[in-house]
């Protein structure tokens, strides 16, 4: 017995969901020398369109540098205060390696997905960074326990004059869409032009500029050794790159993303 197919029930090729083009090398631009390090977030900067100011992306921005130092210290059985971490990171950004690419410290907040426009309210806001909100859970997965008041580093970063970027819009996947790609960028001196992925035919992407970590690890290691943190420095020197990628993946999974990464080389 045969079937009769109702043409009206068939989905035409024109109406089928089209696969969105994922991130690729062409979406990357030379890093800028303007603002501080960005987060790996797939959202755009509020009111930003100038490619000349695009800084590299790390989980939580410069919090990532702080947490790599902290992770190595705790694994070596040595405590380090938040004030010490902030000072050490500022010293790292003053190094010749960081200055070569115009790197500056930075974190971010958001505008509650476009719902906050009052600049005074935004200036007081200390939430909106997913990496900041899940760092306790991420570090636990890395084998260390920390206590953290969500947003505390953002408040301190403002006090120190660090750049605090404002992100806007929704994450990919937040409204039933496909999840974002997770890219690990190895191209030295380049970062993702996030805006290039905001069109309907493109797939959004989180981006981790791992080359920045590779660049800064020797500076962090030297700084730690000069402070008598030799064992922690050795751990960071051996494991820093792998730790960095693990933190990136754990951050995404804690935020409900897949955590599956693609390498951009």
Could you give the CA distance from residue 80 to residue 73 in angstroms, rounded to a whole number? 7
Report the DSSP pairing between strands 106-110 and 261-264.
unpaired
**pLDDT score, position 198:** 84
Q: Where are the domains of the chain?
A: 25-264
Positive or negative, the Cα torsion across 189, 194, 200, 206? positive
Instruction: Encode pLDDT of 57-115 as tens digits.
Output: 999 999 999 999 999 999 999 999 999 999 999 999 999 999 999 999 999 998 888 88
Residue 54, pLDDT above cutoff 90: no
Q: Is 209 exposed, middle or buried (0-12, 13-18, 19+ CB in 10 A)?
A: buried
Number of neighbouring beta carbons within 10 Å of residue 103: 24
Which is more confident, 174 or 13?
A: 174
Report the DSSP pairing between strands 106-110 and 163-168.
parallel
User: What are the helix and strand counts (H, E) for the chain?
Assistant: 9, 8
Residues 6+ apart with CB under 8 A from 261: 182, 183, 184, 208, 245, 248, 249
Instruction: Encode pLDDT of 185-237 as tens digits.
Output: 999 999 999 888 888 899 889 999 999 999 999 999 999 999 999 999 999 99
Of these ranges, 11-20, 51-60, 190-199, the one predicted with the greatest mean pLDDT is: 190-199
Q: What integer is the mean pLDDT of 112-140?
A: 93
Where do the DSSP E strands lie in the chain? 28-30, 44-45, 106-110, 163-168, 181-185, 190-192, 205-209, 261-264
């Amino acid at each position: 017995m045969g079937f009769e197919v109702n043409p009206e029930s068939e989905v035409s090729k024109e109406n089928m969901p089209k696969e969105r083009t994922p991130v690729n090398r062409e979406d990357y631009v030379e890093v800028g020398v303007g603002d501080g390090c960005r987060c790996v977030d797939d959202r755009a900067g509020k009111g930003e369109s100038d490619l000349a100011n695009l800084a590299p992306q790390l989980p939580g921005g410069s919090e990532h540098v702080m947490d790599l130092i902290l992770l190595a210290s705790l694994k070596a059985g040595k405590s380090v205060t938040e004030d010490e971490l902030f000072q050490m990171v500022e010293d790292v950004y003053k190094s010749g390696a960081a200055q070569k690419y115009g790197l500056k410290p930075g974190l971010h907040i958001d505008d509650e997905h476009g719902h906050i426009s009052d600049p005074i309210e935004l200036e007081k806001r200390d939430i909106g960074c997913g990496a900041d909100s899940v760092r306790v859970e991420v570090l636990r997965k890395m084998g260390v326990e920390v206590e953290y008041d969500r947003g505390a580093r953002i408040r301190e970063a403002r006090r120190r004059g660090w750049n605090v970027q404002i992100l806007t819009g929704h994450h990919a996947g937040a409204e039933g869409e496909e999840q974002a790609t997770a890219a690990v960028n190895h191209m030295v001196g380049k970062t993702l032009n996030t805006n290039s992925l905001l069109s309907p035919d493109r797939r959004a992407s989180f981006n981790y500029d791992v080359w920045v970590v590779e660049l800064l690890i020797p500076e962090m290691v030297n700084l730690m050794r000069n402070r008598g943190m030799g064992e922690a420095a050795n751990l960071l020197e051996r494991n820093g790159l792998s730790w960095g990628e693990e933190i990136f993946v754990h951050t995404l999974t804690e935020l409900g993303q897949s955590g599956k990464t693609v390498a951009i080389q």
